Amino acid sequence: MKTLRIATRKSPLALWQTEHVAALLKASHPELEIEFVPLSTRGDELLDRSLAAIGGKGLFLKELELAMLRGEADCAVHSLKDVPMVLEPGFVMPAVIARGSHADAWVSNDFDSIAALPAGARVGTSSLRRKAQLRALRQDLQIDDLRGNVNSRLAKLDAGQYQAILLACAGLERLGFAERIRARLDAPDWLPAPAQGAIAVECREDAADIRALLLALDDADTRCCVSAERAMNRALDGSCHVPVAALARLEGETLYLQGLVGDAQSGAQVRAESRAPRQQAEALGQQVAAMLLAQGAADFIA
């Protein structure tokens, strides 16, 4: 193969992620030419409603997968947290890149923490998971949807539309906005979206040469952790319609998984955690999901 065509969304963060993957590929295959195929997805275009209202995070993938089916692209780069728990038939994910920060970012020009916000303050986030965890801490806040790319969300904060917003640390760091992170929201008190901070590369299942090329980029530790998180989410039938959070960490050869299911309106939540050998990542995810369901998680999911 002389040229690899990579489908990508057009947002600055998506392009950064694609450039990162391209740099890794060039490092191992200096002779390889790489061509970007930037595409606009329905998830990028429909910004006036929440993702849950317009069909979910799979909207960020559809156009990229169609480009691969039409033969216009060889692979596609995604934020793994946006990838549905089950891929469309005919597609595989040969590479999960070494994970960036998994934490959420508290971004505010005036307030150091959630606790410091005045009563009734307006906070922006489109994530039901973040809303549920905010509600558990502060019932009095006004939590409003916030869609768009990182730059536009920061602009809305700076224009005074919100007193604070919640974003992913990884996105801010990758785009050079690390200084905007006022505080990191992290485990055990706050859990991220399953696979947050990880980048995945997808291709057609029948493209053996592409799969072989991409396999060299796969990070075993990251894949282990996100496999447990995504297995938990899959067992819960989780999606952007359900406030599900998960974080897996390796402790030597042992995998430690924490999970949460919440209610974005009341702030009620259930939590569970367990450990298993790293080779049992999928089973660990299913176990923690069963523990959550035993505590009543099904009520939130319903």
User: Catalytic residue positions?
Assistant: 82
Here the tokens at position 56 are 């979910």
CA–CA distance, 186 with 208 (Å, rounded to integer):
39
Instruction: Decide: residue 187, CB within 10 A, 0-12 exposed, 13-18 middle, 19+ buried.
Output: middle
Q: Give the residue from 31, 32, 37, 19 showing the smallest Cα distance to 203.
A: 37
Token pair 């799979």 in the structure block, residue: 58
CA angle 209, 211, 216 (to 5 degrees): 110
Rg (CA), the chain: 19
- CA distances in angstroms from 192 to 56, 76, 130, listed in the order given: 18, 24, 8
Query: Beta-carbon neighbour count of residue 49 at 10 Å?
Result: 12
